[in-house]
Structure 1
C-alpha cells in the first residue's frame, strides 16, 4: 500500500512536528485541530522551525516554501476521507483518544491506517473504538520530532503484519529508526524514562539533594544531555504525572507510584516550561 496523504490530528508541539517531518519527506499533509487558532499556531511553529534551518544554511528558502505548500489546514474531521494514513497526536487521555478514533474510523477510507502517537496508553484499547482494529497501530515519536531519530512502533493485539510493514517503511522514509515494541504500559521509552524522572523527584522531595545537584549528577556523572528534572519541565509535569499514573494502574506495582511532590506541582499549575514554572522558572 502506498501512502500519499497523511492527516495529523492535533496541531500542538508533537502534532506540528509530526506534520513537519512528513511534509519534508514529500507527503501531502492535512494538519487538523478543533479550531482555526490551534491549526494556525501549529503551522506558525512549523514555519519558525524551517526558517531556523534556512538561517543555519541547512535548508534553501525555496525548499522551505515547497515544504509549507504540502501542508493543508483542517478543522473538519471529515477531511479524513482524503487520507491513506492518519496519526493522532491529541492529549494523552483514553476517553478523548477513543472518541477521536471512533470519528476517524467513520470518515477515513477503508484502506486507511489509523496510528496514535500515544506515549503510554494501550493500543489494543484505542483500536477497540474502531471497526478496523487490525489497521490501528502505535507510532510514538520523540520530542522534538524533527530532531529525534526514534519512532516506537507498537502493535495492538490485532494489528496486522502488513500494517506494521507500511508504518516501518514510512518511518524509514522520514529518516527515522523504527523499533518494534509490544503493547505494555509505557512501552519501552516511558517505562524506563518516567520512573527515573520520578525517582529524581523523590530525591528532591526527601531532601537528598537540590534539583540542581540531581541534574548535575546525571549530566556529568551519567553523560545525559540534560538532567531529569530539566527534562521533566520540558516534557510537562502534567504529562509525567499522567504517564506515571498509567504505569501504576497498568502494572499495579507501587514502584510506579508518582512522587507526592510531582502531584503538588501539577495541582499548583507548575507544569514546567509551558507554564513558565516547574522545577525551574522560565521567562
Structure 2
C-alpha cells in the first residue's frame, strides 16, 4: 500500500478518521518565537497551495492550525476553498500570539469568541476538531477553567465535531482524555515521558495526536540510523497514535516523511496480517 489513503485512524467515537500524518501549519503563519533549529521565511500563497495539494495527493487529510500560529488560519481559509470536504481541520483555543508574545484565556466567553473568529478565518461553518492550547497548567485549566465545558456546548451546537486538549503533563493528558475525545501530546525518541497518556488512550479508545513528533527537527541519532525512519517506527509502534503532526514547508521533506511513515505502517500491517 503506497499511499496514506489506505490508512485512517478513528478519533474516539466521533466518526472522524484521520491520516496517520497530519500537516502542521505553524510555518504558514508564524516565524517568531518558534523552536525550530533554523530560521525560515513564510511561504508564498502559491508555495503553500502547492504543499497542501501535495499533502492531499499523498493521502494526508488532517491539517493542523491555531490562532497562535500567526496568520495561519487566515491563509488557510482561501487556500482550502473548494476542497473543504477533503480535509479534517484541527484548530485550537486558549492561546493568542501578538507582538511576539503569547497570552492565555480559558474563559467560556473567550473560547466561544475564538471559535467564531476561527470559523470566519477558515471560511467554514464547522471545525472538525478543536483543542485547548495549554499554557502548561493542565490540571488547573481542566478543573478551574471554562474552556472544556464551552467546547462541549459548541459540539452540541454543531459548530465543532470533536474537542480535546493539547497538554504538557502526564496527569493533564490523562485527565483531559477522560473528559474529551482527543489529546495532543509530545512524544518522540527524545521525549517519551508522556507514554502513560498514550497507554490510557489506547485502553479507552481516545484519539491521540502527536506534536513535536520529530522533536521540532532536533532528533539526532548515530550516523548509521535514519532519524526520520526511526522516529516513525517509534511513533506507530504505539497503538494509540491517531496521527503525528509534521510541520514542514519543504516539499521534499513532506514526501520523505510520508514515504517513511508508509514503510513503517506497511510493515506493521503485514505483521498484523500474519498473526
Regarding TM over 0.5, the answer is no
Higher strand share: 2
Question: Which structure: larger Rg?
Answer: 1
Larger RCO (alpha carbons 8 Å, 6+ apart): 2
Per the normalisation by structure 2, the TM-score is 0.32
Normalized per residue, which structure has more helix?
A: 1
